[in-house]
Amino acid sequence: MTSPPRIPGDVAHAASPRSVLHCADAFDAAFAGRPCRVVRDDGSSHVLPTWLWSGDATVSDLALFADPCHGATLDIGCGPGRITGALAVRGIEVLGIDTSAQAVRLTRARGAMALQRDVFD
């Protein structure tokens, strides 16, 4: 299968080969608690609040993403498993997939099922 299209400004698309950080590696670092910044095409940047992902799903998350799920659910790009975990607690059959090994570990640590997979594969 072919790779997904590259997005200009993506960290995996950096100019210097030494600075190339692939998407899964970047999310691994973020979910491991390393400080991360979003850098835009114009060079401006801001701190990425990755710690928000590692907590539990908020009331808004649940209303938007968990409440509509009544049957078996595939959470693509499950990250640290906030939604996957919340659905599992509700007794919904749910599987999270994510390219980040750290994301899969964190999702499993919540007691939910997750596999390290690329949705495009």
Ligand X SMILES: C[S@@+](CC[C@H](N)C(=O)[O-])C[C@H]1O[C@@H](n2cnc3c(N)ncnc32)[C@H](O)[C@@H]1O
> In the complex, which residues of this chain contact ligand X (CB under 6 A)?
23-24, 27, 53, 76-79, 82, 97-100, 103, 118-120
What is the smallest separation between the CB atom of 83 and ligand X, expressed in angstroms?
6
What CA–CA distances, in Å, run from 121 to 6, 25, 33, 94? 16, 18, 27, 19
Q: Provide the 8-state DSSP code for 39.
A: E
Query: By the 8 A CB rule, do 31 and 108 touch?
Result: no
Query: By the 8 A CB rule, do 106 and 54 touch?
Result: yes
What is the smallest separation between the CB atom of 98 and ligand X, expressed in angstroms?
5
Nearest residue to ligand X by CB is 79
What is the smallest separation between the CB atom of 24 and ligand X, expressed in angstroms?
6
| Cβ nearer to ligand X, comparing 49 with 91 | 49
Q: Provide the 8-state DSSP code for 110.
A: T
What are the φ and ψ backbone dihedral angles of 18, each rounded to 5 degrees?
-70, -20
What is the smallest separation between the CB atom of 27 and ligand X, expressed in angstroms?
4
